[in-house]
Amino acid sequence: MINLHGYGPRLMEGALVTIELAVLSLILAIVLGLATASAKMSRSWALHRFATLYTTVIRGVPDLVLMMLLFFGGQIGINQVTDWLYYQFDIDIFINVNEFVAGVGTIGLIFGAYMGETFRGAFLAVDSGQIEAGRAYGMSHSLVFRRIRFPQMMRHALPGLSNNWMVLLKTTALVSVIGLSDMVKIASEASKATREPFTFMFIVAVIYLLIASVSEWGFARLQKRYDVGFEEVD
Amino acid sequence: MNFSKLLSIGVLGASMIAGVANAEVRDIRIGVDVPYEPMEYRTPDGDLTGFDIELGNALCAEIGIQCEWVVQGWDGIIPGLQARKYDAIMSSMTINEQRREQVLFSEPYITPPSAWFAPTDTEITKPSKESLEGKTIGVQRGTLQDNYVTDLYGDVADVNRYATADDMVLDMDAGRLDIVFLDFPIGKSTLLESEAGDYQTVGKKITKPKKYFGEGFGIAFRQRDKELAKAFNEALATLKDNGTYEEIHTKYFGE
Amino acid sequence: MESLTTWLKNLLADNSIFTLQTLSFYGEGLANTVQLVFLSLIIGLLLAIPLAIARGSKRAWIRLPIFFYCYVFRGTPLLVQLYLIYYGVVFVEGIQDTWLWVILEEPFVPALIAFTLNTGAYTTEIFRGAIKSTPRGEIEAARAYGMSWSLMLRRIVLPSAFRRALPAYGNEVIFMLHASAIASVVTIMDLTGAARFVYARFYAPFDAFLFVAAIYLCLTFGIIYLFRHLEKRLLAHLKPASG
């Protein structure tokens, strides 16, 4: 069998970091995505422009470059502010951008832009007659959102959401380059220490495939749930 | 997922500790990038050791403070100091002008030479523009060796830059590199004493010009921590006088 | 050329980071990125077309291996694939002594292999989808004309599938450009590699990374523009008649 040279437990810890990172980034991305979609659909010119700028710039630059900019640059930017506070007012604040936070922040920021497009399309796909009907029943805006727009929007958004999740999951591997101990980083450390790079990376690949397969299955079940009332017609 | 991690994400990625500046020297944390044998590395059971670690601990004991080591990748080691992840860097860092703009250095505590290392069957006998032409040279990105090689041989040779010295050794073993330029003690323990391949030094050890090789390795502090730097300088002088420094030096470098 | 150099020198006079030396790094990086992305896209495309056709085969021994290839390369990060190929080839016993090593020794070739296999898998799926959605009527019409399978493929199925695949393929091209940023982890001096070098040398993350982000942004816009133009020409017949 495969000899892990005692790196098995650490590799599992790394896998957990990868999953945590992916899930937290996904949550951030969904929040940003909903905000972007609303901004793009709003009547405010400024909000619309801002959202468009955000999605265009983010989708035009590689993830890794954004990550390095935020991780290395973000820290130096913050340091300049805190140093200024210290010299001006003798206030000693200490703000630390760690790799995990930079990772979640960047991945969330990147996929927020993609989610924005997904959600916008999905909201537009909801039949406006149903929204009017809801209003006619005297439902409040928030109730219409909760009971009518959101559940139906999700039906349309799920394929895009699942697609984004798969890409996001693989993007998490990049955090190893900025030094976060996810499973790719641990595998690469183990590779160098044991001089057996193939073994560890192979295991990492299998774990990624496993996570991808499980989430594919999960999304298929979710889709079934939201598809209730829309039987497939052949 | 522990609570503190959740909290740090809750405040948008910022963990804040507010306090009043304190002029007195207190317990500190020291940032270090491992492995860089024999300067800093881990024993098989995971403990930190090496020349820097042992000297650092001795210095802290001399000052009478507790020191805790924090491991940090080289790329982010100076930003990490300024962000107060730790209060000093003791990680084979060469004192030079570019870094001096960012940090405050102690007096140099060691001045190791750099050296060229190549497989024993290499045809290069003396590194020069002619002999290195078309060769692939390995260096660690952002080190003084990188600057030196880039400026002197960047136009005739391929320079491959690595994030860590370990990555470089792996490619040296694989046969992707013709020659590497490293701090001599590091090359000695990772290449000359390694079992994976047969290596030798090429040419003389190099310590000049000062523009690249600086004044040696220093401990880096934040610009404002002048008291702390002074305490370390005094402790270093004491250890050199009472023989402790010599003892640690011999333990790791022989002679 | 002479005047350009002096002009650049004057422009960069009071600037310690963007010297001629660092700009030449960015230039080299741009060349490497473009080469790597362009070559892997072309080879990946050539690989994907037959695979996409074979993927629809009724024979399981043809269909399943292709499915498996796509599944593995689409289900794992490109970075992991790159590591596996870059370090993996070294562990083929005695490879250093064969002629193959001459090309595998350079980091460029393992990276090219990884990128090609990766984009090949995605492109296969894109074309598979496009071929599958060929209107049944077109196929029936071709059959009724007595076209052979290969003639039908060449004249009817593939041309219309290419058009339908164009928007998705445009996204794949942009995706590859962005994915190529990881080439710097195996020491290739691509655009991102140049930015990392400048960052490490001057501790100037904003200058280094914002500059390179701007270059990537320009490249991305160029690709978007190119594909819009192509779509306009090739998909003109799909536009609503009244404009």
pLDDT tens digits, A56-79: 999 899 999 998 888 888 777 887
CA distance C1 to chain A (A): 31
Q: Output the pLDDT for position C172.
A: 93
Q: Rounded to a whole number, what is the distance in Å from the CA of C75 to chain A's nearest CA?
A: 5
Block residue for tokens 């936070």: A101
Are residues A60 and C217, on separate chains, in Cβ contact within 8 Å? yes
Pick from A6-15, A32-41, A184-193 the range whose average pLDDT is largest: A32-41
Q: Residue A209: which residues within 8 A CB-CB, separation 6 or more?
A: C71, C72, C75, C76
Find out whether C142 and C114 touch, Cβ atoms under 8 Å: no
Q: Is A213 inside a domain boundary? A: no
Q: Is the pLDDT of residue A36 over 90?
A: yes
Q: What is the mean pLDDT of residues C213-240?
A: 87
Question: Residue C96's pLDDT band (boundaries 50, 70, 90)?
Answer: confident
CB contact under 8 A, C193 and B161: yes
Q: Are C87 and B141 an interchain contact pair (Cβ–Cβ within 8 Å)?
A: no
Residue C78 pLDDT > 50: yes
Residues of chain B with pLDDT below 70 are 1-25, 44-45, 196, 255
Cross-chain residue pair C187–B162, CB shorter than 8 Å:
yes
pLDDT, average across residues C157-176: 91
Within 8 A by CB and 6+ apart from A121, the residues are: A156, A157, A160
Q: Hey, which of A150-159, B23-32, B192-201, C138-147 has the most confident mean pLDDT?
A: C138-147
Interval A206-215 mean pLDDT: 94
User: Which of B186, B196, A16, B162 lies closest to C86, judged by CA?
Assistant: B162
Chain B, 134 to 153: residues with Cβ < 8 Å from chain C are: 141-142, 146-147
Tell whether the model's pLDDT for residue C100 goes beyond 80: no
Interface of A with C in 48-77 (CB under 8 A): 57, 59-66, 68-69, 72-73, 76-77
- Structure ipTM: 0.86
CATH architecture of B114-213: 3-Layer(aba) Sandwich (3.40)
Question: What pLDDT, on the 0 to 100 scale, is given for residue A71?
Answer: 81
Quote the longest CA-to-CA distance of chain C.
Answer: 74
Choosing among 1.10.10.10, 3.40.50.720, 3.30.470.20, 3.40.190.10, the CATH entry for B24-111+215-253 is 3.40.190.10
Q: Which residues contact A199 (CB under 8 A, 6 or more apart)?
A: A2, A3, A4, A191
B102 touches chain C (CB under 8 A): yes
Q: For B51-74, what is each residue's pLDDT tens digit? A: 999 999 999 999 999 999 988 888
Domain around A101: 19-180
In this structure, are residues B168 and B138 in contact, taking their beta carbons and an 8 Å threshold?
A: yes
In this structure, is residue C22 part of a structural domain? Answer: no
List chains touching B (3+ CB pairs under 8 A): A, C
**Residue B222: closest CA among chain A residues belongs to which residue?**
A83
- Order of strands, edge to edge, in the sheet holding B220-221? B67-71, B28-32, B88-89, B220-221, B104-105
Best probe of the B interface among C85, C187, C199, C206, by most B CBs < 10 A, is: C187
> What count of residues does chain C have?
243
Give phi and psi for A213, each to the nearest 5.
Answer: -65, -45
Element (H, E) at B250: helix B244-253
Q: What is the pLDDT of residue C214?
A: 95
Residue B98 to residue C96, Cβ atoms within 8 A: no
CB-based contact, B166 to chain C, within 8 Å? no
User: How crowded is residue B227: how many other Cβ atoms within 10 Å of its Cβ?
Assistant: 13
Cross-chain Cβ contact C76/A197 below 8 Å:
no
Q: How does residue A208 score in pLDDT terms, banded at 50, 70 and 90?
A: very high
Distant-in-sequence, close-in-space partners of C92: CB < 8 Å, separation ≥ 6: none
- CATH number, domain of C77, equals 1.10.3720.10
Q: Which amino acid is at A218?
A: G
pLDDT at residue B8, as a whole number? 41
User: What CATH number is associated with residue A150?
Assistant: 1.10.3720.10
**Using the beta-carbon criterion (under 8 Å), do A92 and B196 form an inter-chain contact?**
no
Q: DSSP state, C146? A: T
How many other CB atoms are there within 10 angstroms of residue B206's CB atom?
17
In the structure, what pLDDT confidence band is assigned to residue A165 with cuts at 50, 70 and 90?
A: very high
> Do you know the residue count of chain B?
255
Say what the pLDDT of residue B5 is: 43
Residue C34 or residue A150, greater confidence: C34
**Which H or E element spans position B118?**
strand B114-119
| Beta-carbon contacts below 8 Å between B and C | 40
Q: Is residue C151 part of a domain?
A: yes
b/e map B165-183, b = 16+ CB within 10 Å: bbbbbbbbbbbbbbbbbbb
- CA distance linking residue C42 with residue B74, whole number of Å: 37
CB contact under 8 A, B142 and C201: yes
Would residue C3 count as lying in a domain? no
Q: What percent of chain C has pLDDT over 90?
A: 53
CA A38/CA A32 separation, integer angstroms:
10
DSSP letter at B37 equals T
The domain segmentation of chain B, as residue ranges, is 24-111+215-253, 114-213
pLDDT of residue C31: 96
- pLDDT score for C15: 65
In the predicted structure, residue A181 carries a pLDDT above the cut 90: no
pLDDT tier at C13, thresholds 50, 70, 90: low
Q: Which of residues C89 and C65 earns the better pLDDT score?
A: C65
Which is nearest to C201 in space by CA: B96, B210, A74, B36?
A: B96
> Cβ contact (<8 Å) for B9 and A72?
no
Structurally, chain A folds into a number of domains equal to 1
Alpha carbon distances (Å) from C166 to A55, C127, C232? 22, 9, 11
Exposure letters B56-75 (e unless 16+ CB within 10 A, then b): bbbbbebbeeebebeebbbb
* pLDDT at residue A213 greater than cutoff 70: yes
Interchain CB contact of B224 with A (< 8 Å): yes
Whole domain around residue C155: which residue ranges?
46-162
pLDDT at B91: 94
Minimal CA–CA distance to B90: which of B54, B61, B121, B66? B54
What's residue B81's pLDDT?
A: 87
User: Would you state the pLDDT for residue B22?
Assistant: 38
Provide the 3-class DSSP secondary structure of residue C126. helix
